[in-house]
Amino acid sequence: MRTGIFLNYTDGFLQAVDQVVELEKVGVDLALVAEAYSYDAISQLGFLAARTTRMELGTGVVPIYIRTPTLLGMTAAGLDYVSGGRFRLGIGTSGPQVMEGFHGVPFDAPLGRTREVVEICRQVWRRERVQFDGKHYQIPLPSEGPGARGTGLGKPLQLINHPVRDRIPITIAALGPKNVELTAEIAEGWQPVFFLPEQADAVWGEALRAGFAKRDPSLGPLDVMVSAPLAIGEDVDDRLSWVKPQLALYIGGMGARGRNFYHNLATRYGYGEVANTIQDLYLAGKKAEAIAAVPDELVRSVSLVGPRGFVKERLAAFAEAGATTLLLQPLSVNRSEIVGFVQELHGLLP
């Protein structure tokens, strides 16, 4: 089982990079930069590539709607180049709240667009002349026939540069059954959220098996990359409260009623009544009460927080559920304690 780390994308990026450099030295395998509505992930990953030497770097994740598929392919090839072949492209759809509210682009056809984006990116990396006639993307733009939008001047082009690799790993962030099935079929990695090992098969098993049945063997095994808040010790239960604001935000505030993927996930985990309470409070502007409504049991079940023996048991549960990469979120503001948590975890890995 590998370990990875998320960089804070809201503030303190330069300090976070210093921390990542230190964590690389103690064996962390991967660093991811997310993209929401703060700084973009790409510029920060270029900086990170210059500061690290061994660890894999990736987007965790970038939305597919706000860049053309060919730009995503070009960008991934560029980051793979400056990092010496250490980049992986993490993509997702985000949600209508961010896509429509911040970027002003429609949130539509997530499954169809994701599949087409992946196919086009792989054309770019193989240096093929990009030609694609999909439902959502047409390259070059047609100049004749129904729906023609082109001038007739566009011709198929290939990437000028020779990429370091003609196959850059793609990770897809997916939650719903159809998205997860697609991910298991076409991607090298899968990034779920709030992964509860004991419920993983009940929630996602059928979808994963359906996707694996159509999977190209050349993709290799699916890298299941799960987030895990981390604090190891006899007296770290207070750190559970550090996780609750994020859970409350996602379950309660990421989308309207009936259009919140994270609320749906919590419900499928068996926390439907709790999820409804959190959402009611959050949407009513009672954020503190929503945070307080997140139960310790839920936090503990999706985290690695507790004494060494408990964390070792949870690691075994994550491994049994198929997790192959742990994306650690150390619950500390102390740099030496963060490194200590990670080193101790490495000693417990199955």
Segment 12-36, tens digit of pLDDT: 888 889 999 999 999 999 999 999 8
Query: Which helix (H) or strand (E) is 91 found in, with range?
Result: strand 87-92
Dist CA 213 CA 152 (whole Å): 41
Dist CA 94 CA 174 (whole Å): 10
Q: Cα torsion at 42, 179, 28, 306 (round to 10°)?
A: 130
Q: Cα torsion at 196, 246, 177, 185 (round to 10°)?
A: -90
Domain coordinates of the chain in residue numbers? 2-229+306-346, 235-305
Give the per-residue pLDDT at 11.
67
Give the per-residue pLDDT at 14.
87
**2-229+306-346 belongs to which CATH class?**
alpha beta
What pTM did the predictor assign?
0.95
Burial 81-112 (b: 16+ CB within 10 A, else e): bbbeebbbbbbbbbbbbbbeeeeeeebeebee
Give the per-residue pLDDT at 308.
97
Give the per-residue pLDDT at 259.
82
Antiparallel, parallel or unpaired: β 132-133 and 325-330: unpaired
Q: Is 36 helix (H, G, I), strand (E, B) or coil?
A: coil
Residues of the chain with pLDDT under 50: none
Give the per-residue pLDDT at 10.
66
Antiparallel, parallel or unpaired: β 62-63 and 304-306: unpaired
